[in-house]
Structure formats: structure tokens, C-alpha cells
Structure 1
Amino acid sequence: MLRYYEEQRLIVSRRSANGYRDYDESSVDRVLQIRGLLDAGLPTRIIKQILPCLDRPRAIHFPDATPEMLGTLERELSRMTDRIRCLERNRDAVAEYLEEVRRDRAPAAT
């Protein structure tokens, strides 16, 4: 996957003397960000455009933002928001279940 990310110009590596790729520490976080965006359904061509927005300090400048790209981002943002709500509901249900189980298992006070 790392080579593919390099081909797509999402990450960069240096070459060591033996020809192995060498990634700096920031690449680890960048790969996690890329994976998260891919898992959210964004294509690499759009990920490449929004990656600068994930850096600190943020550098947001999109001279080539097309209506298609904006529409895709709006749909994905909505989809992510729906997934977050679903995850929050599921998290709350699991937390309530655990709380109930722990309460039932707690030794009775004498």
C-alpha cells in the first residue's frame, strides 16, 4: 500500500544506501489519515487535494476545486456524519450494557 500511496503522490519516502524506502515519523500519521479517508469512501484523487488541509498549520487553497469535487466532498461529509451518529449510538448502547452487567455482578453490600 505504501508504494501505491507514493505512486499517487500521497506520501514520499527517501531511499537508503541499500535502496530500501525510508519513511519519516510524520508518514505514519499521514498513512493513518489516508486510510481513514479511504475507509470513508473518498477516492485518492480527492484525498490528494485535501491532504494539505490536514497539516499544521493548515494550508487550504483549492484553485482547481471542481463542482464534481465539491459535490463528492459534500456527499462524503454527510455520509461520515451519519456513520459517526451510528457509531455514537452503538458506543452508547455498549456502554449501557457494560454498566448494567457490572451493576448486576457487583457484590451486594452487607
Structure 2
Amino acid sequence: MRIGELSRQSGVSIRMLRFYEAQGLLKPGRTASGYRDYGPDEVKAVIRITLLRAAGMTLPVIRDFLPCALDTRGAFEPCDELRMTVRRQIGRVDDRIESLKRSRAALEAILAQLTLPETEASAS
């Protein structure tokens, strides 16, 4: 299939698909006339890439993950490196959650100062 069809099937833009290819994440074949020819393996790869990006993975990490992908479904082989990377990513997400909680608390404190009761606001 051509890149436009892959884009329609996957919901990923043509530009992003070309970027994935440049990053070594996709390896389409070529037709006799030189057009990219994407097959079922590339469709599965794009689905996996999308899943991992949604989980916050960077493209270099995803490039390392793809060899652990099972060909028959959208899952991954249970390999030690993959487990460690996923655990690290979970730690990063937990750190971001804690940071966001602190930010939220700070914003709530600012809002509380800005939202004085009517009696206090009119007395000043």
C-alpha cells in the first residue's frame, strides 16, 4: 500500500510516517517505480509506535522496543530490557504526577489568595 493509505488506516500523518522512516522505525519496501510500499508489518509497527508514544516513550526508546514486538499481535515479548525500560518510564510518569500535584497545590493557594470573601474585599 502507498503511504497515503497507511496514513488513512493508522490516523498518522504522511509527514510523521516519513519521519518514522527517517528515524529507522519503519522500513517499507519500494515498488519498481520507486514508491514506498507499506505492508502489514508497517501497519503493525505504526500501531505499536502510536501506543508507545501515547505512553510517553521517546522515539529512540521506541526504536529499541520494536524488536521486542510480537509479529502476530500488538503485544511485546517479555524481555528484561523492555521490562526495565517500562519501569523507568513508569517512574518518570510518577515523578511528573508528583510535580503536577505540587503545581496544582501552588495554583490553589494563589487562587485562594485571589478569591477573598466579599466582606474582606469590600473592607480594603
Q: Which category of TM-score, normalised to the shorter sequence, fits these structures?
A: 0.5 to 0.7
Match of 2:35 among 16, 20, 24: 20
Q: Within the alignment, does 1:49 sit opposite 2:64 as a pair?
A: yes
The percent identity for this pair of structures is 36
Q: Within the alignment, does 1:74 sit opposite 2:87 as a pair?
A: yes
**Larger of the two Rg values belongs to structure:** 2
C-alpha separation in 1, matches of 2:63 and 2:22: 11
What SS does the corresponding residue of 1:45 show, helix, strand or coil?
helix
C-alpha separation in 1, matches of 2:68 and 2:48: 11
TM-score normalised per structure 1: 0.53
Amino acid at match of 1:38: R
Amino acid at match of 2:61: I
Runs of 4+ displaced beyond 3 Å: 56-62, 77-80
TM-score normalised per structure 2: 0.48
Q: RMSD of the TM alignment (CA)?
A: 2.8
The number of equivalent residue pairs is 73
Amino acid at match of 2:70: D
Match of 1:30 among 33, 45, 49: 45
Deviation, 1:61, is: 7.5
User: Is the Cα–Cα contact under 8 Å of residues 52 and 60 in structure 1 kept in the other structure?
Assistant: no
Q: Within the alignment, does 1:4 sit opposite 2:19 as a pair?
A: yes
Deviation, 1:5, is: 0.9
- Structure 1 residues 61, 25: closer, same or farther in 2, change over 3 A? same
